[in-house]
Amino acid sequence: MFQQFYEPHPALKGFVNNIMIHQVTFDVAAGQPQFPVPPLPEHCLFFYVRDASESEDTAANNKETLSSALIVGPHVNRHIIIPGRDHLMIKVGFQPGGLYRFLGIPMTELLCQDSFDAVDLLGKEMNEVTDQLREASSFSSMKLIVERFLLRHVNRLKPVLPIDQVLSLLIKERGLLKIDQVASHACLSVRQFERVFGQRIGLPPKQYSRLVRFAQAWILKEQQPDNSWLKITYECGYFDQMHLIRDFQEFAGVSPSVIESALMTSEVKFFNRLFN
């Protein structure tokens, strides 16, 4: 298995947080693998370069084959990813508000479904990029192909506003900042902040803050499975374990113990990373 997070080109850092490449080849005789993926606050562009993967929405109980280039905006449902035998995925993780600046459309418009075929939002150029990735001979050249595509769009980005400078504070502080504090840093009233925040993130600030904290708890358990939920509760800033359980019920649809079992039995450990 190969998994690597890369820092993006300096000209991209204003709206791109990281580029990740994840590659693994499975033994068909061992059965079809799967791994659980939590709702995450990160907006992403995915490329599935080789065999197709499937995604099962645990809330809607439906399964679909993923497009070779996929955009994921506001994401509040737990999924199970069923990768193909020859699995090679490239993820572009955007800075908070970065996907809005890149696409130029309000993120609230992406709430109607969990993911979108990137061709529908970015045009046939996405097919050309995917073809180039399939012909690439190394992971480093794949990263360069993705960066060249992103660099072609830099001049079309929505302009940076003060709010874009403070959105990352919610991640850094694990969703624990008061909304009026963040609004003040963004030079906006609370009402103005909520409106602009929804445009850039797609969710209300309080729900997003809870999603950030929940995702931190999930990722910490995935990375450090020996940690007890009680320890994770306080490391992630929850008041008590009941508040942790409440968020797991809302965002994952199940209790933390069910997620722990799924992570232990998953055939693939997909170590997520929230923003730097």
With respect to residue 147, please indicate whether it lies within any of the assigned structural domains.
yes
28: nearest Cα among 79, 87, 68, 80: 87
Asked whether residue 246 is assigned to any structural domain, the reply reads no
Could you tell me if residue 52 is inside a domain?
yes
Residue 29 lies in a domain: yes
Read off the CATH number of the domain in which 49 is found. 2.60.120.10
- pLDDT tens for 106-125 read 999 998 788 899 999 999 99
CA distances from 239 to 235, 252, 258 (A): 10, 19, 21
Q: Where are the alpha helices (DSSP H) in 38-117?
A: 98-103
> Which DSSP helix (H) or strand (E) runs through 55?
strand 54-57
The verdict on residue 204 lying in a domain is no
Is 258 contained in some domain? no
pTM over 0.75: yes
Whether 183 is covered by a domain: the verdict is no
Distance CA 226, CA 175 (A): 24
Asked if residue 259 belongs to a domain, the reply is no
Q: Is the pLDDT of residue 272 over 80?
A: no
Confidence of residue 208 (pLDDT cuts 50, 70, 90): very high
- Domain of residue 15 covers 2-156
Tens-place pLDDT, residues 45-64: 999 999 999 998 877 777 88
Number of domains in the chain: 1
